[in-house]
Chain A
């Protein structure tokens, strides 16, 4: 993170220290309690960072203003849940799907423990991508502000549908008992770490794929059209097609993040997916961390979610009622204020966007610079022998 400034390092360090100290103090010095707090915390950061990277593809690189992140997030979570769960078996629980048992079709390697989850994540990404494609084809030609309104509207409609259409995903009661990959193979105590590893692996995979894409000619077109669509069109590139690609890829990533969220939570309901949690917080993470930089998205997620968790921790302390009562409002206020401060004071965020060239261009330029340095060196070594011009 050589792009990160001193302030950034300081903030990250402060959050890290707080994340260790608060549970330590709260539990009266128990290391187990600290680990018990940190493991789910980092897991959640990894999952939300996936979604923040998805938003980064849309906003940070393509310049598309999606204010309905929660819609894609939620679709991913519910799709992953109904793909991996077993069928509904009680008259009080209704939902479509429940393919988990049938998807475990490999007769070896205990495939119920992992195969449905592979399909679950893929289906979540695909469903979210399809939703994005439909939205893109109908609304992406709209002006930026109209598109933002459309995305909010679609997210709200989806939330309403999950609430009202109880046959779909059990209405407001939501889905419980969502299975987890490999959970049957480990003790719960050990499994926490396994799942943390899975979430981090997914984050790493998503990070790599996006970085590879962005540091290629594909990413160059996206960054160009974020700056000036006319130049891209004049260069013979279909602006609309590229915008659709950026939007759909970002949505697919959000869907995959939603899948991991569903596995982690084990239980989800429409109420989980508020606009505040599912959209606003993600935006805060991205713009605070630095839109246009995937590391920034991850750092922003860590800091914002850290702050969130700190306020939750503080609520657990024996504090005057008037503080405890107000702290969640204070938290929302501070996160809102943070966004405003970042946007006004330094729109680049904690880890600003790198001026990135295609990795091939990058290496070629370095090669050229080396050559130039070499010729200059020889020129200064033997000035006498060079002919006067």
Chain B
């Protein structure tokens, strides 16, 4: 793999400030090599885009990074620690959280409850605390509720606080996914197509949130996105995957003008 050696232009990039480092990652489904010897790194404090034609293996890569799938081979290092093969809840606890391409609201719970569920290591998650130490549980619960209310204010879903998540619109469900990740106090968020099926107005809000989270709160964002306008506006650098592997990366401008990328997209479409 030589592609990984290309360093993104523009910023003063040291190699050591990679928060996520994927090396020779491979995942085989039967005969399909969904992710095939793929290597890349994501720098801390960036909004990094991940693009590629349909079926390039982007979602599979996210599933491997977040532990929902086990790699066939290869390594994943997050924040200096190897995480490949760890179960998803352990990875989430390290501060690497993800959203789902198709939002997964807990429909029979309210928006607020969807958020309050998330924080990790709640005392009340142990049933004997719920039985015998209700005071402590209640205190923690109030702290978490206040944080959830702040997050709902942030993504402007506060008016839907007591609404069942099942009743949200598609775009609101996307925001709920984002809001849930914020409750996890993450170091890095993987967003799988946050813009898909979202109207323009909401899209603009989403861009604002993502930028604020990254540039003001220092959360690294790693985003799969199809909408090239959104990618161009938001992401730098952009990593391109094709046929399961890292094709190239660079600024949105560089990527857009790279003939390899054009060929990957067109080739994928007309095959």
User: What residues make up the interface of A, taking CB atoms closer than 8 Å to B?
Assistant: 209, 212-213, 216-221, 223-224, 227-228, 230-239, 245, 249, 355, 357-358, 360-361, 364-365, 368
Is B127's CB under 8 angstroms from A361's CB? no
B130 close to A (CB within 8 Å): yes
With A216-B137, A365-B162 known as contacts, the answer to whether A234 contacts B112 (CB < 8 A) is no
With A213-B130, A236-B120, A249-B127 known as contacts, the answer to whether A357 contacts B184 (CB < 8 A) is no
Chain B, interface size category, equals 35 or more
Residues in B neighbouring A221, C-beta threshold 8 A: 117, 125
B72 close to A (CB within 8 Å): no
- Rounded to whole Å, the gap between the CB of B183 and the closest CB of chain A is 8
With A212-B130, A213-B131, A218-B124 known as contacts, the answer to whether A361 contacts B116 (CB < 8 A) is yes
User: What residues make up the interface of B, taking CB atoms closer than 8 Å to A?
Assistant: 66-68, 87-90, 92-93, 97-98, 100, 104, 106-110, 112-113, 116-118, 120-127, 129-131, 134, 137-138, 141-142, 145, 149, 161-162, 164, 180, 183-184
Is B117's CB under 8 angstroms from A220's CB? yes
Is B117's CB under 8 angstroms from A234's CB? no
Residues in B neighbouring A228, C-beta threshold 8 A: 104, 106
- Rounded to whole Å, the gap between the CB of A190 and the closest CB of chain B is 34
Residues in A neighbouring B141, C-beta threshold 8 A: 217, 358, 360-361, 364
Residues in A neighbouring B116, C-beta threshold 8 A: 217, 220, 358, 361
Is B120's CB under 8 angstroms from A218's CB? no
Is B87's CB under 8 angstroms from A235's CB? no
Complex Cα distance, B246 from A270, in Å, reads 64
Residues in B neighbouring A355, C-beta threshold 8 A: 108-110, 164
Question: Can you add 19 more A-B contacts, CB < 8 Å, to A217-B125, A236-B89, A236-B93?
Answer: A212-B130, A216-B127, A220-B117, A221-B117, A228-B106, A230-B100, A231-B180, A233-B89, A234-B92, A235-B118, A236-B118, A236-B121, A239-B89, A249-B127, A357-B113, A358-B113, A361-B141, A364-B141, A365-B112
Is A235's CB under 8 angstroms from B100's CB? no
Residues in A neighbouring B87, C-beta threshold 8 A: 233, 238
Complex Cα distance, B130 from A249, in Å, reads 14
Complex Cα distance, B216 from A110, in Å, reads 71
Residues in A neighbouring B121, C-beta threshold 8 A: 236
Is A233's CB under 8 angstroms from B164's CB? no
Is A360's CB under 8 angstroms from B142's CB? yes
CB < 8 Å neighbour of A227 from B90, B92, B106, B184: B106
Is A217's CB under 8 angstroms from B130's CB? yes
CB < 8 Å neighbour of A236 from B129, B161, B164, B184: B184
Residues in A neighbouring B127, C-beta threshold 8 A: 213, 216, 218, 245, 249
Complex Cα distance, B143 from A364, in Å, reads 11
Complex Cα distance, B120 from A86, in Å, reads 50
- Rounded to whole Å, the gap between the CB of A288 and the closest CB of chain B is 21
Complex Cα distance, B127 from A219, in Å, reads 8
Is B92's CB under 8 angstroms from A217's CB? no
Is B66's CB under 8 angstroms from A234's CB? yes
Is B131's CB under 8 angstroms from A212's CB? yes
- Rounded to whole Å, the gap between the CB of B145 and the closest CB of chain A is 5
Q: Identify 21 residue pairs between A and B in the complex whose beta-carbon atoms are under 8 Å apart, listed by A's number.
A: A212-B130, A212-B131, A216-B134, A217-B123, A217-B124, A218-B126, A224-B106, A224-B117, A228-B106, A230-B88, A231-B180, A236-B92, A236-B184, A357-B109, A357-B110, A357-B113, A358-B116, A360-B137, A360-B142, A365-B161, A365-B162
Complex Cα distance, B98 from A291, in Å, reads 32
Complex Cα distance, B125 from A219, in Å, reads 8
Is A233's CB under 8 angstroms from B117's CB? no
Residues in A neighbouring B66, C-beta threshold 8 A: 234
Is A227's CB under 8 angstroms from B108's CB? yes
CB < 8 Å neighbour of B130 from A216, A231, A233, A361: A216
Is A233's CB under 8 angstroms from B106's CB? no
6 smallest CB-CB distances across A and B, nearest first, come from A217-B124, A216-B130, A236-B92, A236-B120, A360-B141, A233-B88
Is B117's CB under 8 angstroms from A235's CB? yes
Is B106's CB under 8 angstroms from A231's CB? yes
Residues in B neighbouring A213, C-beta threshold 8 A: 127, 130-131
Complex Cα distance, B129 from A212, in Å, reads 10
- Rounded to whole Å, the gap between the CB of B191 and the closest CB of chain A is 12
Which chain A residue lies CB-closest to B120? Answer: A236
Is B89's CB under 8 angstroms from A238's CB? yes
Complex Cα distance, B137 from A239, in Å, reads 21
- Rounded to whole Å, the gap between the CB of A207 and the closest CB of chain B is 13
Is B109's CB under 8 angstroms from A224's CB? yes
Complex Cα distance, B137 from A213, in Å, reads 12
Is B117's CB under 8 angstroms from A216's CB? no
Which chain A residue lies CB-closest to B145? Answer: A364
CB < 8 Å neighbour of B109 from A223, A234, A237: A223
Is B108's CB under 8 angstroms from A223's CB? yes
Most B C-beta atoms less than 10 A away, residue of A217, A219, A239:
A217
With A216-B127, A230-B100, A234-B66 known as contacts, the answer to whether A360 contacts B118 (CB < 8 A) is no
Complex Cα distance, B4 from A140, in Å, reads 42
Complex Cα distance, B156 from A224, in Å, reads 24
CB < 8 Å neighbour of A360 from B68, B120, B145: B145
Is A235's CB under 8 angstroms from B124's CB? no
With A230-B68, A236-B93, A237-B120 known as contacts, the answer to whether A361 contacts B112 (CB < 8 A) is yes
Most B C-beta atoms less than 10 A away, residue of A220, A221, A235, A355:
A235
Residues in B neighbouring A368, C-beta threshold 8 A: 149, 161
- Rounded to whole Å, the gap between the CB of B211 and the closest CB of chain A is 23
Which chain B residue lies CB-closest to A208? Answer: B131
Complex Cα distance, B149 from A219, in Å, reads 21
Residues in B neighbouring A361, C-beta threshold 8 A: 112-113, 116, 141, 145
Most A C-beta atoms less than 10 A away, residue of B93, B112, B124:
B124
- Rounded to whole Å, the gap between the CB of A251 and the closest CB of chain B is 14
Is A230's CB under 8 angstroms from B104's CB? yes
